[in-house]
């Protein structure tokens, strides 16, 4: 099946620094990728939709200047948390649409645990 990877799997950083998270589709091309955020014992909250070669579409309430998304190729999207603060600590998950006609399934990465001190 289609595989999506994320790097790093966990990161600890100091308040005020920036952190970049990579999302890669390993064996398929993904024109659309999604970034989610998940707080403990809660469901996923869509942050933004990332389309290759164009600007990301952010959900209401998500600061686009704080969460920078770049989808530079059909297999890579990055999320950069700028000037991170403790309240940004969360589990960030990306997903990619396979685009296969038969399934059009959303495949998820394993997630990145961000802790901001």
Partner 1 sequence: KQEVTQIPAALSVPEGENLVLNCSFTDSAIYNLQWFRQDPGKGLTSLLLIQSSQREQTSGRLNASLDKSSGRSTLYIAASQPGDSATYLCAVRSGNQFYFGTGTSLTVIP
Judged by the rule CB under 8 A, the positions of this chain that interact with partner 1 are 6, 32, 34, 42-44, 46, 49, 91, 93, 95, 103-111, 113
How many whole angstroms separate alpha carbon 34 and alpha carbon 47? 8
- The secondary structure of residue 75, as a DSSP letter, is T
Helix then strand count (H, E) for the chain reads 0, 11
Least CB distance to partner 1 at residue 63 (A): 20
Decide whether 82 or 106 has the Cβ nearer to partner 1. Answer: 106
Closest approach of Cβ 41 to partner 1, in Å?
A: 8
Report how far Cα 18 is from the mean position of its chain's Cα atoms: 15
- Considering the complex, state which of residue 78 and residue 95 has its C-beta at the smaller distance from partner 1: 95
Cβ proximity to partner 1: between 19 and 109 the closer is 109
| Pick from 96, 92, 99: nearest CA to 108 | 96
């Amino acid at each position: 099946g289609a595989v999506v990877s994320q790097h790093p799997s966990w990161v600890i950083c100091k308040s005020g620094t920036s952190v970049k998270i990579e999302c890669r589709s390993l064996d398929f091309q993904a024109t659309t990728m999604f970034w989610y955020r998940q707080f403990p014992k809660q469901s996923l909250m869509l942050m933004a939709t990332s389309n290759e070669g164009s600007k990301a579409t952010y959900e209401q309430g998500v600061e686009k200047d704080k969460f920078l998304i770049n989808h530079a190729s059909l297999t890579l999207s990055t999320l950069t948390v700028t000037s991170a603060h403790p309240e940004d600590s969360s589990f960030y998950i990306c997903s990619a649409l396979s685009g296969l006609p038969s399934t059009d399934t959303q495949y998820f990465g394993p997630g990145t645990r961000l802790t901001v001190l």
